[in-house]
Structure 1
């Protein structure tokens, strides 16, 4: 079984945003600014069924007067069993022993209180109320935080039988803190851990004393006597719907609402008049040229992609192109969502749109798959490489996709487009970006294949089968074109070089891939090349420099948008942009040295040995030589070479670097390229 990796999904490149991170410091609700930033649930009083009915049934079976359990648990004020257990002063075993004694004193009957615990923890009693579970998902989708006030749900061995914490940002357990739930300090602790003010939170519980304690701090309270009524009150307070949840969606914002009446009529025409039921719309993340909605109508769950009214593309071109592409790819055997209909009549929803089926499955944003086993991780990467090979193997003429071809060189167009994008969003000079803008156009690979390219092929654009390592659908086709397939392969390898907690894309840098069972970048590339029957490209470092340059340009755009206060994917800092740009330039340098090594050399410049410098006297020999197997013999050169020979060596080296488009300033611009003073060799022209 492949359990869902529960994580917020990473965003696409700028403008692709079907699944953007929706969290921020200020939360925009569908009806206006939401004044609340967090919702606090009491587990036993809001999320789970009330235990009182179970207690009454147990009393009846054991011939106890009605109310015996409640009296035994709550009588005694500050010394009551309830408060002592809540504060952690009693273990579960001690609580049950004391409960038996209290029941005997109250009813003068000895009862098997040990049998009460199994009744309280049976499946239907520890399962979240469906209405509240869905509300919790909708709250998270809007970017609000959630906290759980946890009861002492422990078995006789002290282990919790109700691990709910994975669904919440914060969990507070009064019995571990030594406080009761009617103590205002426990709510103060809760809001502090949430990082908010008390007035920015809502607390749900069925106990009036607990609600009173929370209200003393200024927390908005909702009493849960009837879950349905409490649900409606919470929805009113928050100002956005708490039902109809679909993963990666949120409530539709007023600025992008669509006429539901027109849409319903269109759906009835497409799906048939027999389709009935309420029409429920939710919105996917920010899109650059299209808007995406989840559409639930009757038994159908669909995705609607609609052109924005302010789209930079000609009317209908973006959605129409994507619809035809997905239809052709599906016919060619590529796993993509099934498209249903294209509507180019602007009178229906204002702009052209198309419908496709929603593809249910698992989308992994964490490329290390923490919940899986090593063999499962490797299998997912193998499936990823296989589906990429399938995309690149589509026969263009047979699939009638030659219309995607654009005039000119694909990589050249990409570099020019992203350079323009970067210049338009530039906020400061980043040296590595300046170098890349000069270097990339001079080093396009001489040989480039042409296939369908996805444009943003990554793990979080794949929908996996929940039970086996199979890609059910490839998402995010907005950047698709006919181009160089190795750019897709390199794009899918970016995560290998980014840190695990990088804001834009979780990576694998410095992770123990062998321990995780994740193939290395080279092994993954070989999987892909094996599927396609091709050799690994010689210019691999160029492609990595290119895709990282593209990512840096996209991050710069996000940063500029966030600074301007415009709706955007997760914020990107200048440091993020610079980090990725430096990484791209590192690959450019590697490519430069690869080209340098491939150039013909004179006998004087043959160096098939390594030099390992160390500190030592100025004139002492401070290196060792190890000949490479099969290398040409190293010529014997006098220890002190003539000045003219050194000058020729320097001039030849300089000429080679010029041919590669590398300037000396690039090589010495960072500390790691600065030679040590004792080893620096200055070559001057001999006197004439």
Structure 2
């Protein structure tokens, strides 16, 4: 905490004496995760790091948002109050909005078209080829975000975590995902981690207000950014978002590719958490997550 206040005195002196509520300050032996977030005076969000890998991610996010403000002015970006590369810190104004996970159960069929339109408009604006060109010219080569685990890792490690009757199905899904992703997709700028904690919504109007956590943004295919929506939104809202996205962007979404990335992301998260001894976010089991995947594939008619 003392180090954070000292850094604030350098980057934003007016905030250094404020009330700080930290999140994620647990000690870590892995430099990759030596980063945290804090809320200052209930009005500002501070991201900071005390090791090189997360510091580089913060610097990447700072540069990216500076460029996106000009290249994609329609994107709902955080309001940056201050930023620095040494010490690595990003301070944004806290928005009166909540994560999508906090509002998704309030979305009625009547609300669905507007919610889908907001999701689609945000992703279509980000995936505009001119945005990638502008960001690449400003920042140079960009990282390529990927799912948590390869299909080889899933085949090798997931079996003991699920029921015996699910294992052949899981292997067949991995084989199918390999076929679905065998050919490269088109390349755009992707957020890289577009899940329900990273897009914030007005709980009254159910409109999208903010997209946060741009640390992993880079080059990828549009379907990669849509990969969390089948689980986060449910199949009906996901399908409505795909339709709206295609209308806005003029580009077809390959739902098979979305679901192949979805499979790798969901099962990869379960595998990683099991290996790290961390419970799943909803405190259920990997076997239950496999059942959820089965229901989504059935609803979409994707897996053949």
TM over 0.5: yes
Q: Give the Cα separation in 1 of the matches to 2:205 and 2:49.
A: 35
Deviation at residue 486 of structure 1 after TM alignment: 1.9
Pairwise CA distance, 1:527? 0.8
Offset, 1:528: 1.0
Residue 386, structure 1, aligned to residue 121, structure 2: yes
Unaligned runs of 5+ in 2: 27-31
Query: Paired residue for 2:29?
Result: none
Q: Residue 533 and residue 264 in structure 1: after superposition, are their counterparts in 2 closer, same or farther (change >3 A)?
A: closer
**Residue in 1 that maps onto 2:146:** 414
Q: CA deviation at 1:378?
A: 3.2
| 1:279 alignment partner, one of 11, 18, 27 | 18
Greater Rg over alpha carbons, structure: 1
**Contact persistence 1:421–1:557 (CA under 8 A):** no
Q: Is 1:395 aligned to residue 131 of structure 2?
A: yes
Correspondence for 1:305? 47
Q: CA RMSD in A?
A: 3.8
Q: How does 1:253-652 map to 2 (within 5 A)?
A: 257-269=1-13, 275=14, 278-284=17-23, 289=33, 290-296=35-41, 301-307=43-49, 309=51, 313=53, 316-331=55-70, 332-333=72-73, 334-345=75-86, 352-366=88-102, 368-370=104-106, 374-393=109-128, 395-399=131-135, 400=137, 403-406=140-143, 414=146, 417-419=149-151, 428=160, 431=167, 432-444=169-181, 446=183, 448-465=185-202, 468=205, 470-495=207-232, 508=234, 520-537=237-254, 540-562=255-277, 571-580=283-292, 582=294, 590-591=302-303, 593=304
CA–CA distance in structure 2, aligned partners of residues 378 and 283 of structure 1 = 37
- Judged with a 3 Å threshold, the aligned counterparts in structure 2 of structure 1 residues 414 and 404 are, in CA distance, closer, same or farther, namely same
Specify which structure has the bigger relative contact order, considering alpha-carbon pairs within 8 angstroms and separated by 6 or more residues.
Answer: 2
Tell me, in whole angstroms, the C-alpha distance in 1 between the residues paired with 2:293 and 2:105. Answer: 27
What secondary structure sits across from 1:456 in the alignment? coil
TM-score when scaled to structure 2? 0.75
Residues paired across the two proteins, number: 289
Q: Note the alpha carbon deviations across 1:118-150, whole angstroms, 9 max, x for none.
A: xxxxxxxxxxxxxxxxxxxxxxxxxxxxxxxxx
1:479 Cα deviation from its structure 2 partner: 3.1
Q: Please list the CA deviations of residues 151-188 of structure 1 after superposition, one character each: whole Å capped at 9, or x if unmatched.
A: xxxxxxxxxxxxxxxxxxxxxxxxxxxxxxxxxxxxxx
Find the aligned partners of 2:15 and 2:214 in 1 and give their Cα distance. 31
Shift of 1:353: 2.6
Q: How far did 1:435 drift? A: 3.7
Q: Counting helix residues as a fraction of each chain, which structure ranks higher?
A: 2
Q: Write the distance in 1 (CA, Å) between the matches of 2:124 and 2:7.
A: 38
For residues 109 and 161 of structure 2, the distance between their equivalents in structure 1, rounded to whole angstroms, comes to 43
Alpha-carbon contact 1:335-1:472 (below 8 Å) kept: yes
Using the alignment, how far apart are the partners of 2:15 and 2:261 within structure 1?
A: 50
Distance 1:573 1:355, change over 3 A: same
* Partner in structure 2 of residue 223 of structure 1: none
